[in-house]
């Protein structure tokens, strides 16, 4: 098929997508693209970054991501500072320019595979970071948590993270691994360039532990090409990331993009086998919850024929709320509903 013909086919497919919401249905000509970022990473989500590669709706990308500390730690390290370079935190792979994506569209990304590619990850208590101690926004005159780095062994055969706790009676803990991306999203609106540490309407650092292999996410497109990026691999993380860091590690990742032309969404959404979810990010925490649940109500009303007050009544009895993070400059909450409540 000539390139010209291919483009015509693509245009038709894009048009079809905008009519049908064909999430995950790849066009016939979908390509599988490998992208090696090398050391080309970004620390902001920004319209001005040159695209890493250009891909098309339906394409699948195979790439990898560095850990949140830009891979600077060694397994023998005991503290976060001074090794951490604060100007190079939370590196992102990308941006991926999706052909045909225009402001007002929705970018759909299926995370096909997440692969651990290292046998350790790091956790930490970080001074002025985390909700249970004085931090950079909840500023206090008293001392913060001590700087302490924890090196978790990643047992990939048993899918367990293993950590010695020498000062605790239990001596050692093993937590189930459930790898996910802490940071994932598109270039923000308004020609803003926003630190990759900050989640918002464009996604980014939501630190939501349901962004695992197999899910499909939707993001608003604010800039031509969407400029999708991802990074901040977490081998495991509790709800909220309340200590300030997950089990941070590097990832191999495969994802597939699609586009819903002319469909405008306001906040990231996630769909897995069982649930649909809206994810709101702001402070205070209650407002992140409000954003997520109001977006879910609007979703039910606009796409699924619900009356607004009836949708609210249903959510009152069936919503599942998850606190994604309470550590980033904006907190994130997901408001979820079982798909059984979507009309056929």
Contacting a second copy within 187-206 (CB under 8 A):
190-195
Minimum distance from CB of 150 to a second copy (Å)? 5
Which residue number, 196 or 216, has a Cβ lying nearer to a second copy? Answer: 196
| Residue 274 contacts a second copy per CB under 8 A | no
| Residue 280 contacts a second copy per CB under 8 A | yes
Strand 53-55 versus strand 203-204 pairing type: unpaired
Which H helix or E strand runs over 3?
helix 3-20
* Binding-site member from 28, 74, 313, 339 for a second copy (CB under 8 A): 313
* Binding-site member from 3, 39, 167, 273 for a second copy (CB under 8 A): 167
| Residue 141 contacts a second copy per CB under 8 A | yes
| Residue 317 contacts a second copy per CB under 8 A | yes
Rounded Cα–Cα distance for residues 34 and 53 (Å): 10
Interface residues for a second copy in 239-258 (CB under 8 A)?
239-247
Interface residues for a second copy in 39-98 (CB under 8 A)?
43-44, 46, 48, 87
Instruction: Find the part of the chain contacting a second copy (CB under 8 A) among 6-14, 31-39, 254-262, 276-284.
Output: 276-284
Instruction: Find the part of the chain contacting a second copy (CB under 8 A) among 32-40, 77-85, 157-165, 212-220.
Output: 157-165
| Residue 294 contacts a second copy per CB under 8 A | yes
Backbone dihedral region for residue 95 (phi beyond 0: left; psi -120 to 50: alpha; all else: beta): beta
Instruction: Find the part of the chain contacting a second copy (CB under 8 A) among 24-32, 53-61, 136-144, 213-221.
Output: 136-144
* Binding-site member from 74, 165, 302, 339 for a second copy (CB under 8 A): 165
Strand blocks (E) in the chain: 32-34, 44-46, 53-55, 60-65, 92-98, 106-116, 120-125, 148-155, 160-165, 171-176, 180-185, 193-195, 203-204, 216-220, 228-234, 251-260, 269-271, 275-282, 320-325, 331-338
Minimum distance from CB of 267 to a second copy (Å)? 10
- Whether residue 148 contacts residue 130, with contact meaning beta carbons closer than 8 Å, is answered with no
- Residue 142 token pair: 């008293």
Which residue number, 214 or 305, has a Cβ lying nearer to a second copy? Answer: 305
Rounded Cα–Cα distance for residues 251 and 118 (Å): 8
Residue 72 Cα distances to 81, 135, 280, angstroms: 11, 23, 31
* Binding-site member from 125, 186, 205, 216 for a second copy (CB under 8 A): 125
Q: Is 319 exposed, middle or buried (0-12, 13-18, 19+ CB in 10 A)?
A: middle
């Amino acid at each position: 098929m000539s390139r010209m013909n291919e483009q015509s086919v693509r245009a038709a497919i894009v048009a079809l997508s905008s009519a049908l919401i064909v999430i995950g249905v790849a066009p016939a000509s979908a390509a599988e693209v490998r992208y090696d970022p090398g050391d080309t990473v970004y620390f902001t989500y920004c319209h001005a970054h040159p695209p890493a590669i250009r891909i098309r709706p339906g394409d699948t990308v195979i790439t990898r991501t560095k850990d949140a500390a830009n891979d600077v730690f060694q397994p023998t390290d005991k503290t976060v500072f001074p090794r951490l370079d604060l100007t190079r935190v939370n590196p992102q792979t990308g941006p991926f320019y999706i052909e045909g994506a225009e402001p007002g569209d929705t970018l759909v990304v299926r995370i096909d595979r997440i692969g651990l590619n290292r046998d350790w990850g790091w956790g930490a208590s970080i001074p002025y970071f985390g909700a249970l101690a004085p931090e950079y926004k909840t500023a206090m005159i008293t001392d913060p948590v001590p700087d302490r780095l924890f090196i978790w062994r990643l047992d990939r055969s048993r899918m367990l993270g293993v950590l010695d706790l020498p000062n605790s009676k239990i001596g050692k803990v093993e937590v189930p691994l459930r790898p996910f991306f802490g940071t994932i999203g598109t270039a923000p609106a308004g020609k803003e360039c926003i630190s990759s540490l900050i989640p918002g309407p464009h996604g980014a650092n939501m630190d939501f532990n349901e962004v695992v292999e197999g899910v499909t996410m939707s993001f608003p497109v604010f800039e031509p090409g969407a400029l999708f990026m991802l990074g901040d691999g977490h081998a495991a993380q509790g709800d909220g990331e309340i200590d300030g860091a997950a089990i941070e590690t590097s990832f191999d990742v495969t994802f597939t993009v699609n586009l819903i032309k002319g469909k405008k969404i306001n906040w990231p959404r996630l769909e897995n086998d069982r649930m649909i979810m809206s994810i709101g990010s702001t402070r205070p925490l209650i407002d992140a919850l409000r954003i997520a649940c109001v977006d879910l109500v609007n979703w039910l009303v606009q796409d699924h024929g619900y009356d607004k007050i009836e949708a609210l009544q249903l959510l009152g009895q069936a919503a599942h709320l998850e606190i994604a993070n309470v550590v980033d400059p904006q907190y994130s909450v997901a408001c979820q509903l079982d798909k059984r409540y979507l009309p056929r």
